[in-house]
Amino acid sequence: MFNFLKKKEKFSLVSPVSGDLINLDKVEDQVFSSKAMGDGFAVIPTEKTLYSPINGKVKMVFPTKHAICFQLNNGQDVIVHVGIDTVELNGEGFSVFVKEGDTVKQGQKIIELSEKIFNDSNINLVTMVVLLETSDMNLPRFDKFIKQGEGVIKNDTCY
């Protein structure tokens, strides 16, 4: 009763890693660039450690360790997906520091890449952060360096 009086819970997404911030349509993977999974952003990492972009819970850690699905406190799902075709590595070179059901805070360490994987020029490590099942959020054109923990999206708009 009186749900119309209930405030929608606010959320923010920060960059999980330092690097070049780009729009999803620049990602060399049709699933992400077409926004078939949802809208968001990508970072070409300059560091090998990734941190939680959200406050919420870990909903799923993919067995291949290249992706983690989170649930924001408002119920919205967010996926952090490291790299293009990194599923084929079968977890090699990925250390994961969270598990399903964990509560996470922005800036909490979630994944570390091995030196071997991070320095392999044949592996595209562009990291996508996607709000699942969202339509085009009309995000501005990104083309800048961003530091880990810097805000990108707040309540469906940009910082």
Is 66 a known active-site residue?
A: no
The residues pairing with 127 across neighbouring beta strands, listed in sequence order, are 43, 82
Given the residues 35, 65, 66, 81, select the one marked as catalytic: 81
What CA–CA distance (Å, rounded) separates 35 from 15?
Answer: 18
Structure-token match 């890449």, residue found: 113
Q: Which two tokens stand for residue 58?
A: 């870990």
Instruction: Note every long-range contact of 132-136, with CB atoms under 8 Å and residues 24 or more positions apart, other chains counting.
Output: 132/37, 132/38, 132/69, 132/76, 132/77, 132/78, 132/79, 133/37, 133/38, 133/77, 134/38, 134/39, 134/40, 134/76, 135/35, 135/39, 136/35, 136/39
Instruction: Name which of 128, 117, 121 is nearest 153 in CA terms.
Output: 128
Where in the sequence numbering do the catalytic residues fall?
81
